[in-house]
Amino acid sequence: MKKLLVLALVLLLAVGSLFAAAEKEAADGVVELDMYHYHNLADDTATGQWNEIMAAFEVSYPNITLNIEYQNNEPFHNKLQAMAVAKQLPDVVYLWPKKRTGYVTGAGLIKDLVPFLGDKVNEFSPAAMTPQGPNGEIYEVPQQVTATHVVFTNNKILDELGLTYPKTLDEMLAQGPKLAAAGYIPIAMDNGDGWQMQSCFLSALTERAGGMDWYNDVLVGKASFSDTEFVNALNVIKVLSDNDMFSPGINQAPYGNALSDFENGKAAYLIDGGWRVQSLVEELPEALVPYVTLEAFPDIPNQVGQSQSTAVVAGTGFGMNANLEGTKADAAWDWIWFYSGEEGANIRVGHGMIPSYINADMGSQHPLLAKLVDFLNTKPAGYVIDAVVDGEGMGVLHPGIQEMMFGNKTPQAVADEFEAWVAANDSTRNP
């Protein structure tokens, strides 16, 4: 018996030594992290910025290897939802600040970054550091504060045709025939993926139509998406569609077609998010830069909300798997801090972005970047719908908007279907 006890003790000591050796090797050697990233590899502008960040990170952290899987648009969310259900998340994952990826952050699968941030929280815009969880948790460090609605305007085309930026929807509609007759697309937009019309247009129209008091009441069930306010917002899109104001084939067009038309001088207006400044800085012909301004959509009929309002949300960023501890958690934080902190922020400034990191070296700003700063500082803002309604609800709203534009559904029908889903399923209405 003594010999067996001694042998067992020897084995335990040996195993302990092996674990200690393995732990030392992990601490001294390369740490590998699996990452799931929202990124379109076909987007040359975004990929150029990403490659620069990756190269700089590899120089600063040669001991960390990132094994990255890329996906974008709804396939990204579909797979992330499947991962969440199976509780098989990667070490590092790209996240939205509120409800768009709430199916992950609300399920306890993502680690709270507040202990990692510490005093660094004061190095970011307050708008970026609004709580993302019920107890003040921060699940991802936003790389920027984002205006999802901007009307990029080619004033060279307007000047050519004797037009000025419209003050009302009716004035914009009146410009359509004249722009079309001259061979221009009135409003360039893509909506093949469905999120673009919701995020980049309807979100701003919703505040415009109903105001923030009504909007807040809707979210908690004291008012309804079936109300005339939301129907009015949807009707603006239908009226524009019925009058051929949007890009031809808008609901089949992949994201990027409209940007190309605008950059090539084929469209008077482009409705997109503020992030598109990044692409315009790098791709817009230099001669056209002075003519491009950033506007909010004109006033709409029966408007209750604020003129010139946009929709704003804290930006996206990376979070880490809640199960990470020790060396891997430290390595994941090194990446998150590099990406959203000073080093990553300075790189993104060079690519036409405004980071949430307030100590970034803004240097000599590109004129379009300066215009975006002014836009963010001067335009009132409402919510982005997919940030305040659970992401699964977009599976009802997005195709509903498309069907409305095809003439198969009325604005009231789309509003009623969306409200029915929210009332039955949304986590704010059903805590």
What tens digit of pLDDT does each residue of 234-278 get?
999 999 999 999 999 999 999 999 999 999 999 999 999 999 998
Q: What is the mean pLDDT of the chain?
A: 90
- pLDDT the model gives residue 10: 35
Instruction: Say yes or no: 256 and 328 in one domain.
Output: no
- Domain enclosing residue 88, as ranges: 30-140+316-355
- pLDDT tens figures, 56-68: 999 999 999 999 9
Is 368 inside any structural domain? no
| Predicted pLDDT of residue 127 | 75
**Residues 323 and 338 grouped into a single domain:** yes
Mean pLDDT of 112-138: 89
Question: Helix-strand-coil percent breakdown of the chain, rounded to 5?
Answer: 55, 15, 30
Rounded to 5°, angle at Cα 406 from 400 and 409? 50
Would you state the pLDDT for residue 26?
47
pLDDT for res 134: 83
Q: What is the pLDDT of residues 27-59, one digit of tens each?
A: 468 999 999 999 998 888 788 889 999 999 999
User: Which residues on neighbouring strands pair with residue 219, listed in sequence order?
Assistant: none
Share of the chain above pLDDT 90, in %: 76
d(CA 170, CA 240): 10
pLDDT at 362 over 80: no
The whole-number pLDDT of residue 364 equals 67
| Residue 8 placed within a domain | no
Whether residue 122 is found in the same domain as residue 204: no
Of 53-67, 142-156, 178-192, 350-364, the least confident: 350-364
- Tell me, what CATH number does 60's domain have? 3.40.190.10
Which tokens hold the place of 147? Answer: 């205006």
Q: Residue written as tokens 């930026």?
A: 165
Percent pLDDT > 70 in the chain is 93
**Residue 304 and residue 268 in one domain:** yes
Q: Would you say residue 14 lies in a domain?
A: no
Token pair of 257, please? Answer: 């077609």
| DSSP, residue by residue, 286-327 | GGGGGGEEEE-PPB-TT--S-TT-EEEEE--EEEEBTT--HH
Q: Give the model's confidence band at 126: pLDDT under 50 very low, under 70 low, under 90 confident, else very high.
A: confident
**Alpha carbon distance 318, 147 (integer Å):** 19
Q: In this structure, are 292 and 342 located in the same domain?
A: no
pLDDT tens profile 172-220: 999 999 999 999 999 999 999 999 999 999 999 999 999 999 999 999 9
Whether residue 327 sits in one domain with residue 275:
no
Joined together, the tokens standing for residue 388 give 């305040």
Q: How many domains are there within the chain?
A: 2
Q: Cα separation of 133 and 105, whole Å?
A: 8
Backbone angles phi, psi at 299, to 5 degrees: -60, 150
The strands making up 310-314's β-sheet, listed across from edge to edge, are 145-147, 310-314, 381-382
Are both 177 and 257 inside the same structural domain? yes
| DSSP E strand stretches across 167-266 | 185-188
Calculate helix-pair angle for 394-406, 411-425, nearest 10 degrees: 170
pLDDT at 306: 94
- Contacts (Cβ under 8 Å, ≥6 apart) of 189: 196, 197, 200, 201, 246, 247, 250, 258, 270, 271, 272
Count of CA atoms in the C-beta half-sphere (13 A) of 348: 23
302 shares its domain with 326 = no
pLDDT over threshold 50, residue 11: no
Contact at 8 Å (CB) between 144 and 96? no
Given this model, what pLDDT does residue 384 score? 94
- Is 191 found in the same domain as 274? yes
Query: Contact 321/111 with Cβ under 8 angstroms?
Result: yes
Decide if pLDDT at 20 tops 50: no
